[in-house]
Amino acid sequence: MPTIRLTQSAADKLKPPEAGRIEYWDNHLPGFGLRVAASGRKTWVAMYRVGSKLIRESLGTLAMIPNVAEARDRAQDSMQKARAGKNPVAERRERQLGEKIKSEALPGTFRAVATRYLERYAKKTTKPTTWQELQRQLEVDVFPKWADRPIASITRHDVTALLEGIADRGSPVQANRTLARLKTLFKWVLDEEFILADPTARVRKVVKETARDRSSRRQHATASLPMTRSGCFGLGLAVRPHVQVAAFDRQRRDEVGGVEWSEIDLKRRLWTVPRNKAKNDRAHEVHLSSLAVEILDELPKIGSRYALTTNGWRPISGFSKSKQRLDQHMLDLLRTELAGTGKDPDQGSINDWILHDLRRTAATGMARLNIAPHVVDKILNHMTGSIRGVAAVYNRHAYFDERGAALETWSRHVESIVRPVASNVVPLTAAG
């Protein structure tokens, strides 16, 4: 970095380098310089510290500020602000952002900016199920806290408090998912220059998820199957069959919630999940178990588009609240069973699982029933499974018959849990 006397003549005569750029620093005012690029572009720069942070500020091009004295005055002004603890670059960006919002009538509240993100970015770059889940998460967990706040006022402390609130209600994994989606949202917001800094930067997950945690939840889910079936009868008429089908037929929560009658063939016991609804953007044929067919066959079909609905033309929602009600009903059942024994029910053994754990339970259970892993992957519609690499490219077999046989085996196993057959063995009384 050469140091020269930056005069008007020197600034005009400096030649561009063959490649890259070079900075000439003024020996009269340390920290003031002129950057010359290979393209011939010349830019006035100032370098100083705000606290312990080194700031490099671009003051403007030589074309914009042709007078070296004016450029030096601007550099001195920034240096004086820096010595007073102010950041001239941040102040200028904030001022420009305010002018941009004012001139372009850009929204400033979190709800307005998040809605713009959903409409202009998420809908166009993600699958419908992904942005719909983000929209649901914003409505349930984020808008109640931040909806009318200026988005630029949200800090890392606010993000941490939001996540801790979600975790405190017993949903630490959901808090992790919320953080992941907020990070994506705020990255877009920062790129669009609605904010000067990303409040989710350096925010860590609320809980570290491990395979052991998921295994523990699978055990809770498996042990809870009979009580889940009984507890469902305390739910609404539309929510009850949703939880039962999700529990007994292994498909994703939102895919079950949005099932339409046009997708179901009860005679063939087949449900075709369209490509636009499947999580992995791939159509999927699901064999319906006898339990699932029994549940669906009892539902009203006339005048309804959706199988699981409250009004016929809109799929059910509010899964978090339904899960809380299910947990409470199951807890009440357990209290009834333990009445008079002097034992207190363990609430943790009831609510320490999520609906998605039932899919994991099915995968583990089918493996224990000696069902091949690649067949299980096809049943669960996993894009990446046990068949990988070159084999995955060449093996396009759908294992349709194998899936049907496997699901019959799993269905009988589940039925033996939720509908245990009374023993026909009569105990003998010892002779007196």
* Domains with residue ranges and CATH for the chain: 3-88 (3.30.160.390), 110-191 (1.10.150), 218-418 (1.10.443.10)
- The confidence score (pLDDT) of residue 244 equals 61
Contact 149, 109 (CB under 8 A): yes
Question: Which pTM does this prediction carry?
Answer: 0.41
Mean pLDDT across the stretch 396-416? 71
Give the SS3 label for residue 2. Answer: coil
Encoding tokens for residue 124? 């166009």
First to last CA, the chain: 108
pLDDT band of residue 417 (cuts 50, 70, 90) is low
CA distance 251 to 248: 9
pLDDT tens, position by position, 98-129: 665 555 544 578 998 999 899 888 888 877 77
Written as one letter, the residue type at 4 is I
The pLDDT of residue 72: 94
Q: Which of 24, 32, 19 is nearest to 1 (CA)?
A: 24
Q: CB–CB of 415/291 below 8 Å?
A: yes
CB contact at 8 A, 333 and 347: no
pLDDT-wise least confident of 74-88, 118-132, 200-214, 362-376: 200-214
Give burial (CB, 10 Å; 0-12/13-18/19+) of 359: buried
Long-range contacts of 67-75 (CB under 8 A, 24+ apart): 67/8, 68/6, 68/7, 68/8, 68/11, 69/8, 71/32, 71/44, 72/6, 72/26, 72/28, 72/29, 72/32, 74/44, 74/46, 75/29, 75/31, 75/32, 75/44, 75/46
Q: What is the largest CA-CA distance in the chain?
A: 123
Quote the CA–CA distance of 130 and 112 in Å, as a whole number: 20
Cβ neighbors of 185 (< 8 A, separation 6 or more) are 114, 117, 134
